Amino acid sequence: MLPRQLRTMLLLCLLRLQHWISRCRRLTFFGLLKPYNHDFLDQASPFTFSPDILCSLSWFHRKFQVLHFCLCLLIVCRVFACREFAKGANLLILTASGKQFSGLLFLLGAHALHKDQDMGEIDTKSIESVQTALFLFGEKSNNRKYRSTGSEGKQGLDEKELDLILKDLSNRKVQLEVKESAYQQLLLKQELYQKTVDELSLQLRNYDADRNKYIEEVTTAQIQEDELQRQIKVITNQLSETGNLKENLLLELKSTQEDLHKARAELASAVELKLSAKKQIELLETASAIENEKTMELFKRVEELSEAIHLSKLAAIETEKEKTTVLMEKVAELQTAYATAVQLQEQIEDLKKQIDMMPYLENEIINNTLLIDSLKLELKEAKALLALSEKAASDTAGITNSLKSQLEQMEVENSNFAKYAQSMDKELIELQSKLNNSRNEACKSHLEVENLSSELLEVQSEFDKLRDTECEAQIDIATLKAELHKLRSKIAAAEAREARFLSIKSGIYQAVKDIATEAQKAKYEASSFNPGFAIPFEDLESLQDKQLKGESSGMIEDSGTHITISLEEYKYLIKKAEEGDQVSISSHNQALPVTAPESGLEVDALKKELETASAEITKLKSVAEKAISRAESAEKAKTAVEGQLRKWRDQKQKKREALDALRQESRTKAWHPPNSQLETKSYSTLGKVLNMQF
């Protein structure tokens, strides 16, 4: 029988070893202890112990030599299983689990007390190899067992019960410690998971906010596209209406041409009727000469008026040049303001280069510059829309208001970010001062943008006025063209009348000459036959001489004009001349006072028509020249404005490309605080824990 102290120490050592085995399991489960083979506790494969196990065994060796002997036997059996040592032994202990391993060690101590204490029989087949190993160990203590008394046997039973109770208590304590350690580890894991869940939820909220912002931007862009499409449709409708108006005007022109043809036919019939009056034509010749003189005077007046109109055109051009210079000065001012804004942007970029240690502050400055550029681009787009239609003015005003609201929101965000920056270390105070300076410059640039918007509105109003003047000028030009067509038709009709009158004059002159020659021949013949007919023929000669003198003066004046007569008119004049030979002198004298007043009335009517036509011509020419001057000035202003708009569009396209590049870079470089970056890197795949569905 072993002594009492040794038995208690054996039990304590066994409990300590069991606790150590459970601890090894926990450490291997969490990856803190990595043995040479993971089958140390549960499998029966050959095993190599780690240095920690050997150190613990050496500690047991120093304390308890007997326990060290038992453990050495077990280690030898474990390592050299199926080799040299286990050739006839029953080594079922190698198939036992970790818990059975500690129980077998306990049975080793119980087997030593089997002979002197009346206990129940124990099935020792599974530990026969251990019993054989402990046989030598038990021989040394046999002498002491036989020396024990009966009183010591009773004490042994009490001590055995105490040992069992202590064993249960130690096992319970070990289990409690294991559970507490597992519970604490679970709490730590839970805290870690909660932190990751909170961070992921914050990231999700940020992503949702960004998504909502982008959705709003997309909706605003779609609204603007719809408005532009509506404006394009309105413009196309206006163009179709103008095409229809052109077609209607062409139809009206065709109808007026038909009316002119009818009027010309009527005039031809009237001329044919007037050809029947030979004597009335003589009076009309004198009236036509007077009318020619008046027309020459009218042409001189028209030339003088044209010179005056030319001078007025020059004055109008000078005024328009002054207006264009004023507009160009305004454009230059706008360009200078734009250059100042560009300089401010360059200064902001220099500040960004100085703040390399704070990337999230750089992102904020980039966003501010991008907002300024976007505002400028949208203002330039508003300018382009002003050139398209009048309705774009109200749309641009709404866009500017929305942009101002966005600027105010960004300023509020900047103020919130400044509050966040104040909580940082003292090393960032200098950088904050620089950022404040850059913000002041940004405010100045905002004020300059507002000034530019006001100037744009003024330019828009002036452009609207120019457009109104262009519309009025186009209307005046159209009306003047119609009136000019009418006047040209009237002038052509008057010229045709004059040409016909001149042709009639020349025919009459030739007919009179023929009649004079024939009359002279008849005179000689009559004088040869009857001398009484000499007097009336002399009267006829005197009348013919007067007519010839008047007609010769008229023909001398009209000798420069080439006159042609049709064959029908020539035959008609010859017939009339033959009839005139047969007419008596008395009938000729009676016809003269009757035809004179009728021809005078017609001449007066023609004179009045010519005067009214000349007055209308002068008025129309003056109005036409004014309209032409207006149109030229409007076209010049339009070309200047179009050139400026082209320059602005080119600048806008360049800035759009730069903004697109910056936006792509900013999207790739999203802002994250430094603490969140580390945590997101370590827990990048924990979205599955939250059952997130993408």
The count of structural domains within the chain is: 2
Residue pair 592/279 in contact by the 8 Å Cβ criterion = yes
Residues 412 and 561 in one domain: yes
Domain contains 689: no
Per-residue tokens: 409: 């929101």
Give the start-end residues of each E strand in 21-104. none
Residues 142 and 289 in one domain: no
Domain contains 23: yes
The tens digit of pLDDT for each residue in 25-45 reads 554 444 434 443 434 333 333
pTM, entire model: 0.20
Residue pair 75/93 in contact by the 8 Å Cβ criterion = no
What's the start-to-end Cα distance of the chain, in Å? 74
Tell me, what's the pLDDT at 496? Answer: 76
The tens digit of pLDDT for each residue in 565-586 reads 555 555 565 665 555 555 444 4
Share of the chain above pLDDT 90, in %: 0
Torsion angle (degrees, nearest 10) of CA 637, 641, 644, 645: -160
Burial readout 165-174 (b: 16 or more C-beta within 10 A, e: otherwise): eebeebeeeb
Stretch (H or E) spanning 264: helix 150-274
The pLDDT confidence band at residue 300, using thresholds 50, 70 and 90, is: confident
Domain contains 54: yes
The tens digit of pLDDT for each residue in 361-411 reads 556 666 766 766 766 676 666 566 656 655 544 555 565 566 566 666 666
Domain contains 161: no
The pLDDT confidence band at residue 338, using thresholds 50, 70 and 90, is: low
- Long-range contacts (CB closer than 8 Å, 24 or more residues apart) made by 391-399: 391/231, 391/234, 392/231, 393/460, 393/464, 395/227, 399/224
The answer to whether residue 104 scores a pLDDT higher than 60 is no
Domain contains 649: yes
Nearest to 648 by CA among 444, 324, 387: 387
The domain of 569 spans: 285-584+594-667
Least confident interval from 18-32, 251-265, 516-530: 18-32
The pLDDT confidence band at residue 672, using thresholds 50, 70 and 90, is: very low
Domain contains 646: yes
Spatial distance between the Cα atoms of 344 and 346, rounded to a whole number of angstroms: 5
- Is residue 237 helix, strand or coil? helix
The answer to whether residue 304 scores a pLDDT higher than 80 is no
Spatial distance between the Cα atoms of 348 and 442, rounded to a whole number of angstroms: 9
Q: Calculate the CA 161 to chain-centre distance.
A: 91
- Last residue in a domain, options 129, 148, 167: 148
Residue 524, CA distances (Å) to 52, 520, 544 in order: 175, 6, 17
Tell me, what's the pLDDT at 646? Answer: 78
- Last residue in a domain, options 118, 148, 178: 148
The answer to whether residue 530 scores a pLDDT higher than 60 is no
Tell me, what's the pLDDT at 165? Answer: 83
Contact partners, residue 146, CB within 8 Å, separation at least 6: none
- Last residue in a domain, options 148, 181, 197: 148
Tell me how crowded residue 213 is: count the other CB atoms within 10 A of its CB.
Answer: 10
- Long-range contacts (CB closer than 8 Å, 24 or more residues apart) made by 4-9: 4/159, 6/66, 7/109, 7/113, 7/159, 7/163, 8/163, 9/63, 9/64, 9/67
